Structure 1
Amino acid sequence: SFDYKKKKDGSAPKWANAPLLFAFINFAILLYLLIRFAGKPLSDYLAERHEQIKKDLDEAAKLRDEAKAQLDEVNTKLAGLDDEIAEIKRAVKADAEEEKKRIIANAEAEAEALVTGAERTLDIEIERAKRKLEVSAVQAALRSAEKLLEREIKDADVTRLREEYLTQISSNEASTGGGN
């Protein structure tokens, strides 16, 4: 058996470094066995894993470059977006201004047509009212004259007027040749 304790005089035991030596020997045996039996598969696995990591890194770099290109493209579009929005606003404003002018022109034309139509209708109504007024005035004058004649003409005047009328008719017949 190995005694690893210090001696009573304080000196190191004979086998003081033995555990470390055995640990190295055990490690060397383990390393030999691993290399002997698992060396090729482990080497293949590590090589395959190395290649896979390399591919993944290449793919990640490629994806990063594509993402950067897309980001640059989006940033370019966004930079141009303000100009595009401003252009669209200008176009919409111009269209709205043209539409406003067209609507105002149409409204003015319709208003002019309404005024012209109203003036024409007013002229017609004024003429109609004038004619009615003239007819009413003539009728009133006739009624007035009739009343005046009824008051002023007496039976003797009616007889005298009949005789004058008959005389006038007779003289007309004589001058035209006498009848049938």
Structure 2
Amino acid sequence: MLTSGLVLGLSISKFNGGDALFQLAMFVILLFLLKKYAFGPLMGIMTQREEHVASEINAAEASRLEASKYLEEQRELLKQSRVEATQLIENAKQQGETQREDIIIQARTEAERLKESAKREIVQEREKAIVALREQVASLSVLIASKVIEKELSEADQEKLINHYIQEAGEER
């Protein structure tokens, strides 16, 4: 059995306290060296990384707030543009309606003026026709009177002569 314990690398021996103290001292020295040369710079890098991540988070939050503010400004501008567009459309409609009414009033005024002008022309032409007819009747009367004076006519001949001269006067017109 003893040989089997040596083969396996086990040694059955007594507790050696000096080795334990040496290993403990080496472990403490190793911890001190690790703390001084490895953990210090590693913690500095971790602190820098933490500060960098925090600054990136703050910058992202500031960008988000700025974007939110910009978005709200854009919404307000869009709303204002819609209101202005609606006002422009309403103004254009009102101007169009006003112009339409003005055109109708002008057309009616022009129609009335033309109508009155036509009435005046008709009255003038009628008066001219009456004057011309009177002149023709007067000249016919003079002509008939001169013909009657030249010869004595019977009543039937006079009527025939008057009708004949009236027809001639109508054809001359």
Q: Deviation of residue 77 (structure 1)?
A: 4.5
Matched, 1:89 2:82: yes
RMSD: 4.1
Aligned residue among 8, 13, 19 for 1:16: 8
Q: Which runs of 4+ in 1 moved over 3 A?
A: 49-54, 76-88
Aligned residue among 118, 134, 140 for 1:141: 134
- 1:126-174 deviation line (CA, Å, top 9, x unaligned): 21232123212322332344334323432747xxxxxxxxxxxxxxxxx
Q: What's the counterpart of residue 144 of structure 2?
A: 151
* CA distance in structure 1 between the aligned counterparts of 2:119 and 2:53, rounded to whole angstroms: 94
- 1:34-69 deviation line (CA, Å, top 9, x unaligned): x9xxx9xxx48x82x654554343223212212112
Aligned residue among 32, 55, 59 for 1:62: 55
Q: What are the residue-to-residue correspondences of 1:28-67 with 2, within 5 Å?
A: 43=37, 47=41, 51-67=44-60
Task: Tell me which protein shows more helix as a share of its residues.
Answer: 2
Question: What's the TM-score once normalised by structure 1's chain length?
Answer: 0.50
Question: What's the TM-score once normalised by structure 2's chain length?
Answer: 0.52
Structure 1 unaligned segments of length 5 or more: list them. Answer: 1-8, 19-34, 158-180
Letter of the structure 2 residue corresponding to residue 139 of structure 1: A
* CA distance in structure 1 between the aligned counterparts of 2:120 and 2:100, rounded to whole angstroms: 30
Q: What's the counterpart of residue 112 of structure 2?
A: 119
Q: What's the counterpart of residue 95 of structure 2?
A: 102
Q: What's the counterpart of residue 178 of structure 1?
A: none
* CA distance in structure 1 between the aligned counterparts of 2:104 and 2:45, rounded to whole angstroms: 83
SS of the aligned residue for 1:17 comes to: coil
- 1:76-95 deviation line (CA, Å, top 9, x unaligned): 45456555544443343234
SS of the aligned residue for 2:8 comes to: coil
Letter of the structure 2 residue corresponding to residue 121 of structure 1: L
Q: Deviation of residue 123 (structure 1)?
A: 1.5
* CA distance in structure 1 between the aligned counterparts of 2:83 and 2:56, rounded to whole angstroms: 40
* CA distance in structure 2 between the aligned counterparts of 1:12 and 1:122, rounded to whole angstroms: 144
Identity of aligned residues (%): 13
* CA distance in structure 2 between the aligned counterparts of 1:118 and 1:126, rounded to whole angstroms: 12
